[in-house]
Amino acid sequence: METTDRPQLSIIIPTWNETGALPGLIAQLQRQRGLSLEILVADGGSTDDTRAVAQAAGVRVIACPERGRGAQMNVAASRATGPMLLFLHADSGLTDPEQLQRALAHLAHQQARLGNRCAGHFQIRFVDPSGDPPWILRYFEAKSALNRPECVHGDQGMLLSRAFFAEIGGFQTELPYLEDQHLSRAVARLGQWITLPGRLESSARRFRQEGVTRRILLNAMILIGFYADFPEFLQHAPVLYRTQDHAAPLRLLPFLRLIHTLDQAAGRKAAWRRWHRIGRQLRCSLWQLFFIGDLLFTQWLLPNRHPMLAFHDRVVQPTLDFTPCDWGCAILARLGVNLPILHIAPQKSIC
């Protein structure tokens, strides 16, 4: 519901050629009840009718001089007038006409209990026009309800106060992707994430277009590169992040070759120091196996509880938190990168 008074909530949607998805989201937002809101479309120079579609729907369009979701959302946030900000992807979908009112009320309640450094995200539900999403995406749906910083992504929506957003310093703009992970980690460092009531629909189109398994593996490589402080990988792979209109089947071997090339350029000692960080990150990610165990074996008996994950956090993680485990994971990871390269003929470029 758009009003001329100061809104309670400013919704910021970064776009690049989103003519197909944007109208549906705007219509859902304009049907929201119980609160006043403004909608800002932060466009990075779309070459289709995205801006015209947004203007025809009566929402504000912010033409951003720099393309990249982080930069676009920062510009729109600086022009928003509401005290609360919600960042949404253009292909997101709301599931209840009072969803945002309930989310604001829930976040306000939690802020009164936990403090103002509190931000919220929705659990997601994947929507696949070609049929039911594969089981592995159901796993990611369940994981999106957790409040671990590595589990909070931009497709879940990010709701926080303007003051907290300013304290964090906004989104990073060094890369055209991973801006959500920088913000997620900053929120966890300074305050706390909470799961908002209701679900947010997210399109499975990228997984279908790029290949479900390959997209998941590449996402894992990106996140490990981020959390293990491997900026060279993130900066030198030109197609780690493709805009939706250029999504196509992925090939993973070029990315493995890039890692191998960066190892050679870094030298043996520097490369092994990097692999130690990667091994530590992999060891810290073992909790996901226990979470899968909960989903497979305990949810029917203990719904909404995760005893295997709790066991990992209380017992397994402290037990394995020592250097030999990190080195073991590092060696296995390096073998996993190098073995495919040794058995497949070289290719010329990353694509």
Sorted by where each starts, the structural domains of the chain and their CATH numbers stand as 9-203 (3.90.550.10), 210-343 (no CATH)
Asked if residues 200 and 122 have their Cβ atoms less than 8 Å apart, the reply is yes
Q: What is the DSSP string of 218-249?
A: HHHHHHHHHHTT-HHHHHH-TTSS--GGG---
Long-range contacts of 302-310 (CB under 8 A, 24+ apart): none
Instruction: Please give the backbone phi and psi of residue 198, each rounded to the nearest 5 degrees, phi first.
Output: 90, 165
> Residue 2: pLDDT band by 50, 70, 90 thresholds?
very low
pLDDT-derived band at 163 (thresholds 50, 70, 90) equals very high
In the numeric block, which tokens belong to residue 123? 């659990």
* Distance of alpha carbon 290 from alpha carbon 313, whole angstroms: 10
Q: Which residue carries 């900066």 as its tokens?
A: 235
pLDDT band at 347, cuts 50/70/90?
very low
Strands 84-87 and 158-161: antiparallel
Higher-pLDDT residue of 205, 225: 225
Structure token pair of residue 301: 């008996």
Express each pLDDT in 288-314 by its tens digit.
Answer: 999 999 998 887 777 778 999 999 999
Residue-wise pLDDT for 10-63, tens only, equals 999 999 999 999 999 999 999 999 999 999 999 999 999 999 999 999 999 999
Task: Quote the CA–CA distance of 29 and 77 in Å, as a whole number.
Answer: 18
What is the structure's pLDDT at 281?
95
- Tokens of residue 16, six digits: 């690049």
**Per residue in 213-223, pLDDT tens?**
888 898 899 99
Burial of 56 (0-12, 13-18, 19+ CB in 10 A): exposed
- What pLDDT, on a 0 to 100 scale, did the predictor assign at position 28? 97
pLDDT category, 132, cuts 50, 70, 90? confident
What's the rounded Cα separation, in Å, for the pair 201 and 88? 11
pLDDT at residue 317 is higher than 70: yes
Give CA–CA dist 337/22, Å, rounded: 39
Kindly report the average pLDDT of the chain as a whole number. Answer: 90
Residue 73 in tokens: 């959302």
Q: Answer yes or no: are the C-beta atoms of 51 and 85 closer than 8 Å.
A: no
H helix intervals, 169-314: 179-190, 205-210, 212-227, 231-236, 253-266, 268-284, 287-293, 307-311
Give the model confidence (pLDDT) of 235-249 as tens digits: 876 555 555 555 578
CB 6 within 8 Å of CB 84: no
DSSP 8-state class, residue 5 = S
Q: Is pTM, for the whole model, over 0.75? A: yes
